[in-house]
Amino acid sequence: MSRGAYLLDLGRVPYQEAWDLQRSLAGAVSQGAIPDTVIFLEHPPVVTLGRRTDELELHVPEHAEVDVVETDRGGKSTYHGPGQLVCYPILDLKRHGKDVKKYVHDLETALIRTLMALDIEATRLEGLTGVWLQRPPRKIASIGVHISRWVTTHGYALNVDLDPSPFTEWITACGLEDAAFTTIGRELGRAIAVDDVRPFAHAALAEVFDLQLEPLPTEDGHGLWKQPIQQQLADASVARTNATVSS
């Protein structure tokens, strides 16, 4: 039986705001105040550094209009920007197997199924995290996660339709020398919007993690609420419970 979860479908959110949001949600999920919650969004241009990033990976030009943020996720450096769909699942892994390797494998499976819905055949490469296309190998999605008290933050980034050059010109993305990066638009040979991919990503993640996603209303702009997130979601949880009791 699928487990209920919240879906936050946001617009373009600055990285630090999204990270603060994740941490707030993780605290609420850990305390049992809200169910698992999944965020989908885009970021303005930003280079994020994982815990294993080597300073030699960074070669961002001085004139580049991009933030650089050190994070607590695993992995090395990566790039986020408009035209990339980012997914941050805030899940309590005590309900999903308490297995970090399985969790990452499941994220890869969700990505592979998302791309399959767009007639793109993707796969894993042995010894490498993320999702790739073959012949020649080219990376289309990156994964980096953080887990505390079995609650997850961070997640995946799927290249929908953006210029992939920052992955190689600004950084040595994921610490991989000479790696090639691609996008859904490039593989399809046509323009495609992030919003066109969201429904497939929602469905794939829900299927893999056996979740029944309940979309939550968002405010204008990038969608974040002015009210503290824990209170907003707690109110939604109470409202859902009351509706169930009265039905």
CATH of the domain at 114: 3.30.930.10
Q: For position 12, what pLDDT does the model report? A: 96
Residue 114 in any domain: the answer is yes
Domains: count for the chain: 1
In this structure, which amino acid lies at residue 193?
A
Q: For position 233, what pLDDT does the model report? A: 61
The residues annotated with a catalytic role in the active site are 174
Binned average pLDDT, 10 residues per bin, the chain of 247 residues: 92 96 96 96 95 83 89 90 98 96 98 98 93 93 96 98 89 71 97 98 98 87 55 58 46
> Alpha carbon of 161 to those of 80, 101, 133, 189, 190: distances in Å?
12, 29, 16, 10, 9
Alpha-helical runs (H) found in 117-215:
166-169, 184-188, 194-208
Does the predicted TM-score (pTM) go above 0.85? yes
| Max CA distance (Å), the chain | 60
Residue 99 in any domain: the answer is yes
219 CB neighbour count, 10 Å cutoff: 12
Residue 233 in any domain: the answer is no
